[in-house]
Amino acid sequence: MLELINIHKSFNNNEVLKGVNIKVKKGDVIVILGPSGSGKTTLLRCINFLERADKGEIIFDDLHVNVRTASAADISKIRKKTAFVFQSFNLFNNKTALENVTEGLIVARKVPKAEATEIAKKALSKVGLSDRENYYPSKLSGGQQQRVAISRAIAVNPDVILFDEPTSALDPELTGEVLSVMKQLAREGVTMVVVTHEMSFAREVANHIVFMADGVVVEEGPPDEIFTNPREERTKQFLSRILPPVDDYVI
């Protein structure tokens, strides 16, 4: 469904993506892991052109673009097929929760208001926030804001939802509510590409892990392979630091 081929991206002479390839099939839940600086967020942002890659191609169903020559129309098409959930939520501060969710439908997809409102209400109830419809973002907790952000993403019915460290900015107590929403979405078959440090999510929900370091994909495969039998040394190094040691006896 979605394929990124040979993506390169530099910021000010610093090459952050050095030729990355990714394939996303419908229904996949792909988790991208890696140390900071590995380029995972940049890769995600290149998919919906929040960053424009320097070189490479993106194939999205029947849409085939060269990132350098992609037109505004192509970008717009891609953005209408995707949705992005940000680390810092980025809810529209001047709109209520409900309005945040209907905005993409009414303005970008010309859905009539009544229909959009209905879709939005369903999306909000799915994340458990029906009672907060008319609240402004400033009156919601971080976890609630992120859940509204997720319902904003699902309301537009995208082919794939991109998550950029969705729980990193949350207090530990609030990450649970967001992760359970994401797990629910995965169970329902929503295609997701997630950059995260939440290993439990990666292990339990993902069907494909991509490990990146220093701008390249070091290793990829199903979770049990990557977590229990990583092939590359770099992968082992990363996992040993992130995961608790297997034999950890409490005396």
235 part of the interface to another protein, by CB under 8 A: no
The H or E element that residue 137 is part of is none
CA–CA separation, 35 and 239 (whole Å): 10
CA–CA separation, 69 and 198 (whole Å): 36
Residues 6+ apart with CB under 8 A from 211: 32, 33, 34, 217, 218, 219, 220, 226, 230, 232, 234, 235, 238
| Out of 2, 7, 16, 190, the residue judged to bind another protein by CB under 8 A | 16
| Out of 96, 167, 196, 235, the residue judged to bind another protein by CB under 8 A | 96
Is there a contact between 6 and 170 (Cβ–Cβ < 8 Å)?
Answer: no
CA–CA separation, 77 and 62 (whole Å): 11
41 part of the interface to another protein, by CB under 8 A: yes
192 part of the interface to another protein, by CB under 8 A: no
Specify the residue, 36 or 246, whose C-beta has the smaller distance to another protein.
36
| Out of 63, 107, 242, 243, the residue judged to bind another protein by CB under 8 A | 107
Specify the residue, 79 or 126, whose C-beta has the smaller distance to another protein.
79
Which of the ranges 19-27, 81-89, 124-132, 182-190 carries the binding residues for another protein, by CB under 8 A? 81-89
142 part of the interface to another protein, by CB under 8 A: no
How many helices (DSSP H) and strands (DSSP E) are in the chain? 10, 10
For binding to another protein (CB under 8 A), which residues are involved?
A: 11, 16, 36-42, 48, 50, 76, 79-80, 82-84, 86-88, 90-96, 103-104, 107-109, 136-138, 149, 152-153, 156
